[in-house]
Amino acid sequence: MSFFDNLRRAAEKSLAYSNCSFCGLEQTEIGICTPCLSAVEPMGRSCRTCASPIEASQTAQSEPDAGSSCGQCLQKPPAFQKVIAATRYKFPVDKALSELKFNKQLHFARSLSHVLERRVRLSYQDTSYPEALVAIPLHPKRLSERGFNQSEIITKHLANTLSIPHNNALTRIKDTPHQIGLSEKQRRKNLNNAFYLQKPLPSHIALIDDVVTTGSTVSEAAKLCLQNGVKQVDVWCLAKT
């Protein structure tokens, strides 16, 4: 039996018994057991702005610095302030997130939201939380196909556990084709005017998505918010590539 089958069986079991989402063995309150959490949680050295991995060779010249940004962010700072990711988008989290999205394995949203919540609490120790949590919306067509928006589920979970209002002002008015395999320029073009803001937002918000890859989606949404009175946009996601 493949790991994938094990993962799915574990997933099905965990729905009923509240076992760990990933191994299916340990009983746990947050949906992920301590060993799986320790396996999934490490991010490695990351850019303090976009949360992309920073290779050791990139900084070999300079002193190791936990708080440095990657070359790309230094050259062209993104619209958002920072990305906070629960974990890296790699095995087994990549599988878990596709199970969540395409096989309605919603328990992964719960367990990984707990991992994100831990990261968020650490990141905001010295600063105040955003005033509102805003999910990256799906186009209504996609929403009716899938039946749920995984980012919305994550947002509701975090709004609840962190006591931050959940705001649904942001909507998607353009059905963007799959972004996989497209150049950064093509991604931006596809996303142009993809979002619409239905009502004003507070000055500090967090945009929430399941996976952030190049950051073009969250950048486009962040720009719209910043053009409409928002002063700071943070990005929270379950996984960053």
Give min distance, CB of 153 to Zn ion, in A: 21
Residue number, 9 or 141, with CB nearest to Zn ion = 9
Site map 66..105 versus Zn ion, x via CB under 5 A: ----x--x--------------------------------
> How many whole angstroms separate alpha carbon 41 and alpha carbon 44?
9
> How many whole angstroms separate alpha carbon 109 and alpha carbon 24?
15
Count helices and strands (H / E) in the chain.
Answer: 9, 7
Interface residue with Zn ion among 20, 109, 207, 221 (CB under 5 A) is 20
Interface residue with Zn ion among 11, 14, 22, 132 (CB under 5 A) is 22
Please provide the distance, in angstroms rounded to a whole number, between the alpha carbons at the two ends of the chain: 28
Nearest Cα neighbor of 155 from 103, 195, 117 is 117
Q: Which span sits near Zn ion by CB under 5 A: 32-40, 79-87, 96-104, 130-138?
A: 32-40
Residue 23 sits in the site that holds Zn ion (CB under 5 A)? yes
Structure tokens at 212: 């952030």
Nearest Cα neighbor of 148 from 158, 156, 138 is 138
Give min distance, CB of 173 to Zn ion, in A: 29
Site map 42..71 versus Zn ion, x via CB under 5 A: -----x-xx-------------------x-
Residue number, 87 or 167, with CB nearest to Zn ion = 87
Residue number, 21 or 167, with CB nearest to Zn ion = 21
Q: What is the DSSP string of 174-223?
A: S-PPP-TT--HHHHHHHHTT-EEE-S---SEEEEEEEEESSSHHHHHHHH
Structure tokens at 167: 């705001």
Give min distance, CB of 35 to Zn ion, in A: 6
Site residues (CB under 5 A) for Zn ion? 20, 22-23, 33, 36, 47, 49-50, 70, 73
